[in-house]
Each structure stands twice: as C-alpha cells, then as structure tokens.
Amino acid sequence: MKKLFKWIGIGIGLLLVIGIGLIIAIMISYDRYGNYSYGGILSENQAKFDVTYYELNLEIFPVDQAIKGSNLIKLRVLSDALDKIELDLIGNFEVEKVLDQDKNDLAFRHEDDKLWTVLKSLPKQNEIISLRVYYQGQPVEAMLPPWIGGFSWANDSAGKDWVSVACQGEGAKIWFPCKDHPSDRPDSAAINITIPDSLFCASNGILQKTSVPEAGKKTYHWITRYPINNYNININIGNYHTLLEKYVTLQGDTMPAYFYVLPQSLKGARKHLKMAVDMLYMYRKFYGEYPFTKEKFAIVETPYLGMEHQTINAYGNKYRYTTVDEKEYDWLMLHEMGHEWWGNKLSITDLADMWLHEGICTYGEALYQLDKNGEQAYHDYMQKLKKRIENKIPVIPKRDADSQESYHTDIYYKGAWLMHSLRYITGDSVFFNILLTFVNDSAYTYSNLTCTEDFIHLVEQKAGKTFTPFIRSFLTTTDLPVFKVDSLGADQYNIAMQNVDYSLPVRIVIDEKTIELTLDGKSVLIKSNKKPVLDPADWILEAGEL
C-alpha cells in the first residue's frame, strides 16, 4: 500500500511538472509569435479623431479557423489637420480594400500592426466621416484565455463547433481594425455575424434579427446602443440553448436575463441563471440599477474560465460553487458580473487605473458576503484577499500604462483592501454613498471616462477630509504603515505609526476599552495596564502582515 501511495504521489508530481511546463511553453511561444498589448501613450494621429461607431460584418469559418468581412468605422474629426487615419490591426490579416463614406477606394498601408489610410481630402473639425475596411485572415488563437487571449476554436462534447473570443490583454485589434486605446470607445456598435445555420451566435446588446444570406448559413444581427470598450465587443458561437429569466428593475419594468448554454450543461443551468439574477439584485443595493436595462443581462457558456463582456458575460466555471454558511454561490460569475458596473459602465481612460475596475469589483465579492452572511463573513473574506497581496510593485506603476504594464494581481487584492480601509476611515454612511455616487454620476460613466484622481476628489468631497496622501501612497508606492507599541514601564506605552507620511484614524484597545486616535509619525503616550492592541478588527493594511 505504501508503494502504491508513493507511485501515486510521483504520478501527481509529474503531472504538475508537465502542466507547469506546458503553460510556460505556451507563454514563451506566444511571446515569440506576437505578444500583443494595447493602451499606453495615445499617438498624435489617433488623438485627432474620436470613434463613435463600429459595424462589424464578419463571416466565421470554424473549420478553417478564419474570419472574413468588414468593419465600418465612424469617427468624429477633432483636428483640421487630419489627412490620414491610423488604425490598429495585427499583421495576421490581409486588408483587401478601404472605402470612405462616398465609397471611394483609399490608399492604405498595413504594416507593424498598424493600418494607415490616406483620406481624399481634409475633413473639417467636428465632421463625421467613415471608413469601411475589408479584410480576412486567421486571428490569433487563444493560448491561455482569458489571460493569453484570442480566438478559442473548440468543440463541445458532441463534436460541434464552439467558438469564442477574449482579448482584454491584447486589445480588439487581434480580430478587427479599430482605434485600440482605452481613452476612446464607440458610443454604439453593431455586430453582424454569419455562421453555419446549425449554430447560434451570442453577442452584445440586442438581437435585432436573423437573416439567411445563402443556404446553410445564418447571419445574427446584434446591436448595442451603449458605449462599449473595444475588448468588450464579443462573439460566442455554439450549439446554444437559450434560457430566460426576468429581472425587475427599480422602476418596475422587466429586462430579459439569458443563459446561452450548451445542451450538455442544461442540468443545473436554470438554478445558475436564477443565482445570477439574485446577484444583480444584491449588487444594485450597493451600486444602483443594473447599467444596461434597455438591452439585457446574459451569461454565455465558454470553453475558457470567464470574462466580463458587456451584457454577455463569458462563463466557463462549470457550476463549481463555493459554500459559505451552507449557502452556495459562484464566485467567478459574481466577480465578472460586478464588472457591468466597474469596467463597463464606469471605465478608465488610462490602464494605469485598472484597479478601479478590478479592485472595486473584487471588493464587491466581500460586499456579497456582507449582504448574504453578515459582518463577520465580510471580514473573513477580506482576510482571504489579504493573503493574496504581494505588494512587490505599486498598484499604479506608471501613468500612460499599456495592458502588460498595468496588469498584476495587486490591482485586484490590494485595490480591494483600499476600499476596505476607506470603509472604516470614512464610515459606512459616507463610504457607501461614495460607491453609489461614483458609479452613477454621468461625469464618470458611459461616454465619460474616469481616473484615480476623480475617485480621490469624490472621496474628499463626500468625507469632507483630505485623503490624497493616504490614497496616493497606497496606490503609487509599496510603503505601508508600521504600528509600533513600545513599553516604557509603569503601565505606559509609546504608540506610533511609522514608515508612511500621512495620518490615519486607528482604533486602539486599552484595558478592554476601544478608543480611536489619529496617528502619524509622532509618538503618542498611552497609559494602560495591558499592552494596547492597534487596529483589532484589521481595517488597515500593515507592512508586517504581508
């Protein structure tokens, strides 16, 4: 028996080594053949125009793992000196032609993942012009989606084609020509996808209609009239069944909530969709109404783990639920759904501020525990998140960051802990009002993008106090407070908060009584029969805890 356990252990070890090796090999291979990113410094040319609309007209060929079609791009001219247009499109694709709004053939150059098009004449400032780019080719294949993204060309267990896209890290240029920068997102988009008629295509917004371009094919015509990030424009193709539940808005209207699910996963799907609708109701207690009630909420089963595509959340967690206090929930779906508020409704102009998407969304997981299981469950969850904080680099390492520079795990976990600390520092009434205001103020949402400085300004406005030194230090450095308690004898102690240049209110237990003092770099003399305990409920992230 001991030998059996020994060989089982060796086998498991080998599998782990092989698995890690495969992941490393995949990542190396991906780097070799094109490790794409987006964001960074906006180019001089792209600063001269604002994209208002995309209209994708694509045919997807699962057998050939290829796509062919066009993208109509409408844009508003912001400069009188715009004689050419710079778009992003990777070199995998062949650009066949580019037409303007008058159907003139335009000269273009496609190299180094850029598509430069020369305009026939100089447009006037504020004029709306359009380009239609015809192209075809094989898009990047996803190696480890959603982290290393692209197209997933899969088959379900019945052998039917199952296709999806994830491109948050790479940008949408890996499958359609666009201005691939977070500072500009279209006000609306149409997604018209032609596929074999035995399959269904789920996408953003509303399914307006289907059409039959030729025998054996079907075109799905989707449209979203909300502003949308490029990476959120998404298609999912498979032998989907459609489940429907109703979500009742705060105004008493109904909105459809769909689950596009494979037939092999129908068992448990109804329960899962009901769980999702319940999560929508939970989130609106803290964040306000679901942001896209004029269209839909939807989950779509995907061959990869998940992604927060607007109104069409990718889900591949296979009903692996977490149980807290005998209550089941899907943590992954919960997180991705939170992005409908943080990331989709409220979006950033610089990827350096990605913590506003991921950190607040991760904090929402703790709010779920607060709502469903109480204060202690909330604190227990924050402790789990704290164990994942690395604090090796700042949450915001630099401004004008691209997707590679901005993405690391502390945008999730340390970002969530900033929110946790602010809840204590500002108090529940102010804090929850900050959350609600930030994600519902038109100055920060939908067509208007936001940043960390907007958040700091709102916090200080609502709290009536200065929090800039604390928040900036927390996000742009790895410095954290160090609490010192030094005994002076005769029941006297010196208490100080060191290693940082700001002040914070801190709860202190003195002889079983709790007081609150504002600590900074100066020592405070305390009389106590026992050694004082600082921050007993663990609201403040300390350097010695990581």
pLDDT (mean) for 73-78: 99
- pTM of the predicted protein model: 0.93
- Residue 475 is predicted with a pLDDT of 99
Neighbours of 366 (CB within 10 A): 23
Band of residue 83 on the pLDDT scale cut at 50, 70, 90: very high
| pLDDT of 178 strictly over 60 | yes
pLDDT for 99:
99
- Specify the long-range contacts of residues 18-23, CB closer than 8 Å, at least 24 apart: 23/144
- Could you identify the residue written with the tokens 């009002």? 433
Question: For residue 76, is pLDDT > 80?
Answer: yes
Instruction: Name the average pLDDT for the chain.
Output: 94
Angle between helix 468-476 and 410-426 (nearest 10): 160
The domain made up of 38-236 is a member of CATH 2.60.40.1730: yes
In tens, the pLDDT along 145-157 reads: 999 999 999 999 9
Q: How many residues does the chain have?
A: 546
> Does residue 419 register a pLDDT over 80?
yes
Mean pLDDT across the stretch 318-345? 97
Q: Comparing C-alpha atoms, which of 175, 434, 415, 96 is closest to residue 288?
A: 434
Which alpha helices (H) appear in 407-527, and where do they start and end? 410-426, 428-438, 452-463, 468-476
Burial code (b: 16+ CB inside 10 Å, e: under 16) for 45-80 equals bbebbbbbbbbbbbbbbbeeebbbbbbbbbbbbeee
pLDDT at 29: 38
With 60 as the cut, is the pLDDT of residue 319 above it?
yes
- Give the whole-angstrom CA distance, residue 474 versus residue 375: 25
Q: What is the pLDDT of residue 113?
A: 98
Q: pLDDT at residue 377 above 90?
A: yes
Q: Is the pLDDT reported for residue 88 higher than 50?
A: yes
CA distance 259 to 275: 11
pLDDT on residue 490: 87
Mean pLDDT of 217-245: 99
Tokens of residue 284, six digits: 């609106």
Confidence of residue 521 (pLDDT cuts 50, 70, 90): confident
- CA-to-CA distance for 319 and 266, rounded, in angstroms? 11
Whole-number pLDDT of residue 459:
98
pLDDT of residue 170: 97
> Average pLDDT for residues 192-197, to the nearest whole number?
99
Nearest to 71 by CA among 154, 164, 173, 155: 173
* pLDDT tens digits for range 282-306: 999 999 999 999 999 999 999 999 9
If we measure between CA atoms, which residue out of 255, 218, 223, 224 comes closest to residue 240? 218
Give tens-digit pLDDT for 104-128: 999 999 999 999 999 999 999 999 9
Average pLDDT over residues 459-465: 97
pLDDT in tens, 341-370: 999 999 999 999 999 999 999 999 999 999
Residue 546: the pLDDT is 82
The pLDDT of 317-343, averaged and rounded, is 97
Q: Which CATH number is associated with domain 346-476?
A: 1.10.390.10
Average pLDDT over residues 329-351: 98
CA distance 60 to 129: 28
**209-232 average pLDDT score:** 99
Residues of the chain with pLDDT > 90, as a percent, come to 92
Distance CA 89, CA 102 (A): 23
User: Taking a C-beta distance cutoff of 8 angstroms, is the pair 184, 350 a contact?
Assistant: no
Which pLDDT band holds residue 31 (cuts at 50, 70, 90)?
A: very low
User: Do 50 and 67 contact (CB within 8 A), yes or no?
Assistant: no
What percentage of the chain reaches a pLDDT higher than 70? 94
What pLDDT does residue 107 have? 99
